[in-house]
Structure 1
Amino acid sequence: MNFSLDFSSLAPYWPVFLKGAWLTLKMTTVAIVIGVGIGVFVAFAKNSPNRLLARACGAYIEAVRNTPFLVQIFLLYFGLASLGIHMPTFAAAVLAMIINIAAYAAEIIRAGLDSVPRGQLEAAECLGLSRWRIRWHVMLQPAIERVYPALTSQFLLMMQASAMASQISAEELTAIANTVQSDTFRSLETYIVVAALYLALSVLVKLLAWAFGEYVFKRRRTIRRAAAQMRRPLPGTPPANAAGAIAAINHVPYVHRDAETIKGSAI
């Protein structure tokens, strides 16, 4: 069997590949932004003292996490069409991605919220912070920082799962690959190119998530600077315990500036 890779026949299709990659990235971005926003509210609602609301959110999370993503897309695209509700393929695919990532993000964020020490919340209440500021500055921000790697992994999985949208003819990267390989009959070369593009998109999403985390979670930079200083002791001074110093920084409680102002005025 004589076979050799030949990518020359795919050269005219590069604009089509890039268009499909751009649509995949756009679908993923919209789903992440809206899905994480919904996931935050669902995470707080699941911990709500209202049992009916908490059980409804729990049922939503379990229903999404225990059904295939492809079935969810079919339910939105074909199921709603049978009821007279017709959606474009892009809207159906993005809506399915939002519903899916919101459920997974809600469970991840809820785990982060549960990790916030109870004493930290009581201290914030004693300082007179409002409920909104406690939830935003004392609960949500440190919770998101703790679970941010898990959220980033979920973003990558969602981008890769967007390939399921090709089953409803959404013109994303996998659908483009199916069309190109049927035109050129170069299946191996086509899917090698698609795999490389998915890899490039994954690296791009990782870099964007890392840059966003570095911008939002400023304490990470503080910890790295402290670790770097501990590794470079001054001449004539004994080496410090870097592990202990970093551990001390990691356990600094999250207190908003207004809380510090209230504490100072009380003194």
Structure 2
Amino acid sequence: MNYQFDFASVLAYWPQFLAGAWMTIKLSFPATIVGFVLGTLLAIGRRGQRKWLRLACGAYVEAVRNTPLLVQVFVVFFGLATLGWKVTAFSAALISLIINVAAYSSEIMRAGMDSIHRGQIEAAECLGLTRAQIYWHVVIRPAMEKVYPALTSQFVLLMLASSITSQISVEELTAMANSVQADTFRPFEAYIMVALGYLALSFLMRLCIWGFGMLVFTRKRQLSRAGVAR
């Protein structure tokens, strides 16, 4: 084996890699936020009393979780165009990622909500809290805190899965790597750079989600301070 590594020729394309990383961020963070909100609503719907709503939410979740993300991207991108709704590749990619992560977030949040003891809800009702207040303070926030590590992993997986959107010409990190290796004929070096880029984005995303958790969950801050004090 006499292969000579040449990262210099690949590093010369750092503006393209940076642009691809920024596109990955623009896809991942909005999809994470909107997908989580939609997933929480789906979890509430699946735990509701209306049978038709439970069945509809369940059908959505099972359909998304049992089909590949790439197929979902193609359905949105080509399907909407067939129906006469012209959307950009970026919009189709964002919609697909939201649809996908909402289904997985729904199951994670539903597991967290199911872990809330019925007695806590009854106590909140006795205190005169409204249904919305009960859901937010007694069900959603404690449930989210319990499943926060699982949500974090799911959101990072979503960011990594955004590489699939390169198949519809979204110029994110993987698409930029494809372009660079075609220009330089250095695929090994190009994809190593992309792997390092995804590692950096994963750490950045985990840091942001950790900071949000410390801001929202008071108990996490207290436990963290107690650990530092020791």
TM-score range, shorter chain: over 0.9
Match of 1:262 in 2: none
Match of 1:126 in 2: 126
Q: CA RMSD in A?
A: 1.2
1:131 counterpart letter in structure 2: R
Q: CA deviation at 1:85?
A: 2.1
Runs of 5+ unmatched residues, structure 2: none
- Number of paired residues? 230
1:112-138 Cα offsets, whole Å, 9 max, x none, are 111001111111111111111101001
Q: CA deviation at 1:227?
A: 5.4
1:177-227 Cα offsets, whole Å, 9 max, x none, are 101100100000000000000000000001111111111111012234445
Runs of 5+ unmatched residues, structure 1: 232-267
Q: Aligned partners of 1:94, 1:62: CA distance in 2, in Å?
A: 20
Higher RCO (CA 8 Å, separation ≥ 6 residues): 2
1:35-70 Cα offsets, whole Å, 9 max, x none, are 111111111011110000010000000000000000
Task: Label 1:206 to 1:52 Cα distance change in 2 as closer, same or farther (>3 A).
Answer: same
Match of 1:21 in 2: 21
2:87 counterpart letter in structure 1: M
Q: CA deviation at 1:87?
A: 1.2
My pick for the range that moved more, 84-93 or 67-76, is 84-93
Match of 2:115 in 1: 115
Please report the TM-score for the alignment, with normalisation by the length of structure 1. Answer: 0.84
Q: Aligned partners of 1:76, 1:59: CA distance in 2, in Å?
A: 18
Q: CA deviation at 1:10?
A: 1.5
Which structure 1 residue ranges, 4+ long, deviate > 3 Å from structure 2? 224-229
Match of 1:183 in 2: 183
Match of 1:104 in 2: 104
Bigger Rg, which one: 1
- Superposed, which structure 2 residues align to 1:203-242 within 5 Å? 203-226=203-226
Query: What secondary structure is seen at the aligned counterpart in 2 of 1:139?
Result: helix
Match of 2:193 in 1: 193
1:64-111 Cα offsets, whole Å, 9 max, x none, are 000000000000111222222221000000000000001111111111
